[in-house]
Amino acid sequence: MRNADVPADMRLKIAVQKSGRLTDSSLDLLSRCGLKYSRGKDQLMCYGENMPLDVLFVRDDDIPDLVQEDVCDLGLVGLNVIEEKRLAFQAREVGPLFDTVQLLDFGRCRLCIAVPEGFHYEDAQSLQGKRIATTYPHILSRFLKQNGISAEVVVLSGSVEIAPRLGRADLICDLVSTGSTLAANHLRNVHTVLESQAALIRTPMPIPAQKQEWTRRLLMRIDGVEQVKGSKYIMLHAPRSALAAIAKLLPGSEAPTVIPLEGLGDRVAVHAVCPENVFWETLEDLKDAGATSVLVLPVEKMLA
The only residue of 23, 126, 181, 227 in contact with ligand PRP, by rule CB under 6 A: 181
The only residue of 11, 13, 21, 138 in contact with ligand PRP, by rule CB under 6 A: 21
**Candidates 24-32, 55-63, 138-146, 287-295 — which segment interacts with Zn ion by CB under 5 A?**
55-63
Letter for the amino acid at 214?
W
Q: Kindly tell me which of 52 and 78 has the beta carbon lying closer to Zn ion.
A: 78
Binding flags for ligand PRP, 129-168, as an x/- string (CB under 6 A): -----------------------------x----------
Instruction: Extract long-range pairs of 56-62: CB within 8 Å, 24+ residues apart.
Output: 56/13, 56/14, 56/15, 56/16, 57/16, 57/17, 57/18, 57/19, 57/23, 58/15, 58/16, 58/17, 58/18, 59/17, 59/18, 60/17, 60/18, 60/20, 60/22, 61/85, 61/135, 62/15
- Rounded to a whole number of angstroms, the minimum distance from the CB of residue 199 to Zn ion is 15
The only residue of 114, 175, 249, 294 in contact with ligand PRP, by rule CB under 6 A: 175
Sheet holding 232-239, edge to edge: 257-260, 267-274, 232-239, 292-298
**Candidates 23-31, 44-52, 176-184, 186-194 — which segment interacts with ligand PRP by CB under 6 A?**
176-184
From the list ligand PRP, Zn ion, none, partner contacted by residue 241 (C-beta under 5 to 8 A by kind): none
**Candidates 49-57, 173-181, 234-242, 248-256 — which segment interacts with ligand PRP by CB under 6 A?**
173-181
From the list ligand PRP, Zn ion, none, partner contacted by residue 179 (C-beta under 5 to 8 A by kind): ligand PRP
From the list Zn ion, ligand PRP, none, partner contacted by residue 73 (C-beta under 5 to 8 A by kind): none
Calpha distance 267→235 (Å, rounded): 13
Calpha distance 46→40 (Å, rounded): 6
Calpha distance 30→45 (Å, rounded): 14
Question: Is residue 222 within 8 Å of 202, Cβ to Cβ?
Answer: no
Q: Kindly tell me which of 175 and 238 has the beta carbon lying closer to Zn ion.
A: 175
- Specify the 3-state DSSP secondary structure of 140: helix
Can you give the binding site for Zn ion, defined by CB under 5 A? 60-61
Residues that bind ligand PRP (CB under 6 A): 20-21, 60, 158, 174-181
